Amino acid sequence: MEPFKIVGNVYFVGTFQASCHLIDTGEGLILIDPGYSNALYLVVRSIYKLGFDPKDIKYIVNTHWHGDHTEATAAMADLSGAKTLIGRYDVEKSRRYFDPDITVKDGDALTLGNTTITFMETPGHTKGTISFFFEAEDEENTYRVGMFGGAGANTMAQGHFDYDGCREDYRNSLHRLQKEKVDVFIGNHVWNNDTAVKGELLLKTGVNRFIDKDLWGDFLAFCEKRLDEVISKDV
């Protein structure tokens, strides 16, 4: 997928397998979920294509420990010298891919340049899944940007739990997230918010369908409905 600016200082830099986002804070870059190792060269290419340098990445935020989001973290940290972050309850499992520099708990914030990211612990998909929120500005407006750090229902199925009690935690996390106001919802997979479709439309026409205050709530409602469907299949 071609890289593109979503809104303000927020960019999509790949990939179709697992989403990776870049935030330009004016005093360095923040990278969200470097993704699979086999796609790292595509992410690096996209960063350069947008006019940025991977060596300006100061922090790498990992939403949870799964390899589709963290396989490339160690290599990207080596390339850039960036500090790596992950939720406190995912630290041990994340070490199969990288050694985190910073652990995040509920309410923690990361400030770099013009951007402050506030983290929320949203366990379920993994025990240490983190979601986050920050503000982005364009020429006329300020938007609240949000990401649900672990929406996947694969770990909600019997025999695939990341930990005991994950279903209850997942539902509680959804309910907490539903209380948040989000103008621009970014996903950590393209299926979360139709990144590919919206990105192509934005590149071709300039129409920005990422800016939509209803998308966040609609997606969280979908996640809860899907959870109920997974539970209904229990034998």
pTM of the model: 0.97
Q: Is residue 87 pLDDT above 80, yes or no?
A: yes
44-66 pLDDT, tens per residue?
A: 999 999 999 999 999 999 999 99
pLDDT computed for residue 173 by the predictor: 98
Give residue 136's pLDDT.
98
- In angstroms, the CA 122 to CA 223 distance is 13
Q: How much is the mean pLDDT over the chain?
A: 97
**Contact, 219 vs 192, CB < 8 A?**
yes
Average pLDDT over residues 102-107: 97
User: What's the pLDDT tens digit per position in 111-145?
Assistant: 999 999 999 999 999 999 999 999 999 988 999 99
Given a cut of 80, is residue 235 above it in pLDDT?
Answer: no
Place of tokens 């972050």: 85
Q: What is the share, in percent, of the chain residues with pLDDT greater than 70?
A: 100
**Residue 103: its pLDDT value, please?**
98
